[in-house]
Amino acid sequence: MNQQAFRSKNNTLKCIQPRVFKNPEHQIQLEKKGYIIAQGLSAENIASIEKLILQIKVKDNGYTSPSTIDFSADVSKQINDLLIPIANEICNELMIDYTAVLGLLMTKGVGNNSEMYVHQDWTLVDENIFSSFNIWIPLVDVCKDNGAMFILEGSHKLSFTFRGSYIPNCFPAIDAPFNKLTCLAMKKGELLIYDHRCIHGSPVNKTQNIRPSAVIAIAPINSIKYHYFYKDDNKSIVEMVADSNLLTQITSQSELIDCMNFNNTMRVIQEMPTISEAEILNLIENSPKKQSVLSRILAFLK
């Protein structure tokens, strides 16, 4: 992937983020909102994921939880092995030089504890140069009542942060977040491809049926993949080079301590960059969602 650079007026060297999507309309939407929704999986790929879901007996545990926590390492590998080639097909079709890194199932159970709180995903690449994404694929039609994804549009452009194991949320809590984020109603098998920096979450599932989805992390082919741990004792962040194996282990929390002994630490970061409340409030205030509610009210009053 060619990283281009230019000199700005004050003579500092700036990187131009490489183009991500083949389709220019996808690229424009990505730059503006931080995500795209694209045509869905083939019926054959949906069927193969559904077959595995039945075989491993995915069930309702009342939470939104990843298969890396709900299942053994062997089953997690089986899921990863099925999803990686499917995601690579999507990368080849829609994206420029992206590859799948880690695949898992995310199952939303039923009831009051089934919310996925709003968060940004773990940092996977050097975000000064690259962008990494999740491909999130609902395996039933989703709307606000059964736990569709909600996204704060444009939040991929917020200040630089490090995100990872035990690192506290890098942005201040948002009051009543699901009223402020955009609800992404989607059809079964459609593809939501969102930047890992986007603030997102999914509300409680008010229906009686679980809401399964597949999630695959993807990154530029030539990027180094990292994982970041927060060490509370000396208030620092440890940067490690991460492959899919390490990431699978980390996402099944029980292995976390072992992972911390891996000797692939690259550096220890003392400062912890965060996003200010003013930045978030400004984004919410100017979000397309707020604007469209306002324009509807104004149109109604006319």
Show the site string, 110-149: x = touches ligand AKG by CB under 6 A, - = not: ------x----x------------x------------x--
Q: Answer yes or no whether residue 214 interacts with ligand AKG by CB under 6 A.
A: no
Smallest gap, in angstroms, from Cβ of residue 134 to ligand AKG?
6
Return the SS3 of 205: strand
Among 35, 70, 102, 108, which residue sits at the site for ligand AKG (rule: CB under 6 A)?
Answer: 108
Side-chain half-sphere CA neighbours of 80 within 13 A:
22
Question: 């593809």: which residue's tokens?
Answer: 191
Structure tokens given for 228: 């970041």
Smallest gap, in angstroms, from Cβ of residue 222 to ligand AKG?
24
Among 53, 91, 94, 106, which residue sits at the site for ligand AKG (rule: CB under 6 A)?
Answer: 106
- Nearer of residues 105 and 280 to ligand AKG, judged by Cβ: 105
Show the site string, 62-101: x = touches ligand AKG by CB under 6 A, - = not: --x-------------------------------------
> Which residue, 103, 116, 119, 135, is CA-closest to 20?
135
- Nearer of residues 26 and 163 to ligand AKG, judged by Cβ: 163
In order, the DSSP letters of 216-254 are: EEEEETTSPPEEEEEETTTTEEEEEE--HHHHHHHHSGG
Structure tokens given for 4: 């281009």
Phi, psi of 194 (to 5 degrees): -125, 145
Binding site for ligand AKG (CB under 6 A): 64, 106, 108, 116, 121, 134, 147, 200-202, 213, 215
